[in-house]
Structure 1
Amino acid sequence: MAPTMKQRSLRSLFQVILLLLFSLANHRICWAGTQNEASAPLRRAKPPNLQKTSPSPVFFGNAFAEALEGERPADLLSSFSGRTGVQTQSPDVTEPAENGYAWSRLISATTLEDEVKRIKFAVDSSITTPGRYKSGGFKEGRQYFSMLAFLFAIIAEYDDEVRWKNQAAAARDNFARAGFNSKVDTIQSYNEAKLRKIDLHELVSGGSFSSQPSKDLQGWEQVCDLPLIMRRLEQAHHKSIAEGTASKNEFKKQSENLIHEAELVAAIAYVTRQENFEYWDDETYSNYCKALEANALEVIRAVKLDDYQAARKATGEISKICSDCHEGYR
């Protein structure tokens, strides 16, 4: 039977109501989803675990070796002029300053400070226990204390600003005594070495030096042992300067160390011909020392100018001078 008019009207109304209910339900679902998105906390990326990704807080273990690529700027090498105080032309090695010797012509304040710090670390590992001292530490201590006396003697007379200048004379005399006393491995020399180790730590850490300069030291032969500072000169030549000029690549990589070591050679070469050292009044020996000093200054000049060939030539001259001198005076 066909639906009546009333039945069709009710069916249509029912369909409209269903449609409205469906639309309303869909709208509420969308609105709830939007609210949930707005109220949900933002999820951020977790911070990196630095202990896993970086074994050290330092970006590079050796910034010069690992971080820098290519050639260094030319003005970097020229900046050594302020550091070394050495002129671009090799000066007259016998020329004195107006009031004493112009040490800054041979060795910079930076090299003096760096060498003292380097020796401090070496002393820390050598002067430890009586057993270690007796088994060879006393020989190492003798070398280190003699070099410290040499360095502080220069610092005491330095013609420019330099660290530890006020304490240098007292430090020179105390390290000189410790160096000469370290010829034997007695408990007395060990105890003195321990005291000088403490003094050195205080100086490097910015502390004071309570001792007073000695009135007994009159010359370089009472400050340092000539064979011991000559040993440091040979080390600078063979281990640093010769290796640093072996190739252009090494020359560029080791430019700063070349300056440091060549300055030490120049200063030692000057001191070794001072009065009362062995052969000091021998003209041939004195000329060897002067030539050694001049060629060390030439290495410095060559590094500043980035002149590898000149540095290589000067290094060869140093080798020849050392060889000739050893044949006649060793």
Structure 2
Amino acid sequence: MARTMLVRTAYVLLALAVTTFAWAQTKQPKVVRRAQPPKFDKPDSTYFADAFKEGLTGERPGNLGVAAAAVVSTGGNTGSPTAAPAGNTGVAGSGWAALVSPATLEDAVKTLKLQIDTGVTTPSEFAGKGYKAARRDFSVMAMTFAIIGEYEGDVRWKKDAPAARDAFAQTAANAKVGTQGVYNEAKKRKEELQDLIGGANPFEGKSAEPKATWGSVCNRSPLMQHLENVWEPKLKPALSDKGQFAANIDKILLDAELFAAIGAVLAKEGMEDADTSEYTALCDKLKNASTEIVEACKTKDFDRASKASIEIGKSCVECHENYRS
């Protein structure tokens, strides 16, 4: 009896399963209604069919890598940006950027600062022979700040360079003697230089013309002393040996750029003998040979640099024979 009931129940369950499956197969799928794509009667002129062919016209700009000038808000919407206010913009046509880089000018200031630190120590040392080295270093420092002040382009300390130029030029002119007064002045320049490199502004509120009056900035003799101080013991040996050239190429490039700058300064209006064509030709020879060494450093061409160094040696000898002072 129980077995019969179990069989009947199984048949009923099987029948229900078959019926459910059949009903599921006959159920209509749910229709999903979607929005129809838009239809346009004519092409929309707002967009280009091919942006590169239709949207770009004319020659490709040659200055795509140059950053856009900074802009500042003027407080109202005028519809056009306003260039950020600038300080000293240099002297148009100065030509310094073709001879010396901003990095070299900054390094020169820092290197001269170290020399001044060791030269301006005590009044007695300064009175002995320290004032002579100080005159040389302050003269080159004044020249460097003069170049920075006239530089066409961004370079560190440009805003304060004209005032710094005049301060160091005055101290260099006074440092023909080693008196206590000159020592005190030199010590003040040393402290100002420390503050300037450290990020302070010791020349704030002091203004001067960016364009230098070169006869008042420096004299020939201290600049020539700097050339001698670098050429014989340092630069000349490095340009005579391929191994030294490779090992000191960055320092050679820096010194060569400064040599080129000094060659240009020596021929500036107001400098001694700058009105003599024979003399300015020697200055140009120094400048051009130094520039050749700079280019050789950039391509690591020792032979080219060595050949140019011979021209520097010749220009030095010829200049000393006729114009040493």
TM-score by length of 2: 0.68
Task: Give the drift of 1:187.
Answer: 1.6
CA distance in structure 2 between the partners assigned to 1:163 and 1:264 by the alignment:
16
Task: Give the drift of 1:238.
Answer: 2.0
Give the letter for the 1:295 counterpart. A
Task: Give the drift of 1:214.
Answer: 5.1
For structure 1, list consecutive stretches of 5 or more residues without a partner in the other structure.
1-96
CA distance change for structure 1 residues 305 and 218 in 2, over 3 Å: closer, same or farther? closer
2:254 corresponds to 1:292: no
Superposed, 1:207-222 pairs within 5 Å as 207-210=200-203, 212-213=206-207, 219-222=213-216
**Is the Cα–Cα contact under 8 Å of residues 295 and 315 in structure 1 kept in the other structure?**
yes
Which of 243, 248, 252 in structure 1 is aligned with 2:242? 248
CA distance in structure 2 between the partners assigned to 1:114 and 1:208 by the alignment:
18
Which of 270, 274, 284 in structure 2 is aligned with 1:280? 274
CA distance in structure 2 between the partners assigned to 1:143 and 1:315 by the alignment:
23
CA distance in structure 2 between the partners assigned to 1:159 and 1:104 by the alignment:
7
CA distance in structure 1 between the partners assigned to 2:143 and 2:233 by the alignment:
21
Which of 161, 186, 198 in structure 1 is aligned with 2:191? 198
Which of 143, 146, 160 in structure 2 is aligned with 1:153? 146
Aligned equivalent of 2:107: 114
**Is the Cα–Cα contact under 8 Å of residues 96 and 147 in structure 2 kept in the other structure?**
yes
CA distance change for structure 1 residues 326 and 113 in 2, over 3 Å: closer, same or farther? same
**Is the Cα–Cα contact under 8 Å of residues 150 and 212 in structure 2 kept in the other structure?**
no
**Is the Cα–Cα contact under 8 Å of residues 106 and 267 in structure 1 kept in the other structure?**
yes
Which of 133, 155, 173 in structure 2 is aligned with 1:180? 173
Give the letter for the 2:315 counterpart. I
Task: Give the drift of 1:239.
Answer: 2.7
Aligned equivalent of 1:162: 155
TM-score by length of 1: 0.67
Aligned equivalent of 1:224: 218
| Structure 2 SS opposite 1:155 | helix
Aligned equivalent of 2:253: 259
**Is the Cα–Cα contact under 8 Å of residues 91 and 150 in structure 2 kept in the other structure?**
no
CA distance change for structure 1 residues 218 and 108 in 2, over 3 Å: closer, same or farther? closer
> Per-residue displacement from partner, 1:203-235 (whole Å, max 9, x unpaired)?
1111102351457x9621111121101211223
Higher helix share: 1
For structure 2, list consecutive stretches of 5 or more residues without a partner in the other structure.
1-89
CA distance in structure 2 between the partners assigned to 1:213 and 1:144 by the alignment:
23
CA distance change for structure 1 residues 210 and 101 in 2, over 3 Å: closer, same or farther? closer
Give the letter for the 1:280 counterpart. A
Give the letter for the 1:115 counterpart. A
Identity %: 38
**Is the Cα–Cα contact under 8 Å of residues 91 and 151 in structure 2 kept in the other structure?**
no
> Per-residue displacement from partner, 1:264-283 (whole Å, max 9, x unpaired)?
11000000011121111111
2:172 corresponds to 1:144: no
Superposed, 1:115-134 pairs within 5 Å as 115-134=108-127
**Is the Cα–Cα contact under 8 Å of residues 139 and 182 in structure 1 kept in the other structure?**
yes
Point out the more displaced range, 134-143 or 196-205: 134-143
CA distance in structure 2 between the partners assigned to 1:228 and 1:313 by the alignment:
27
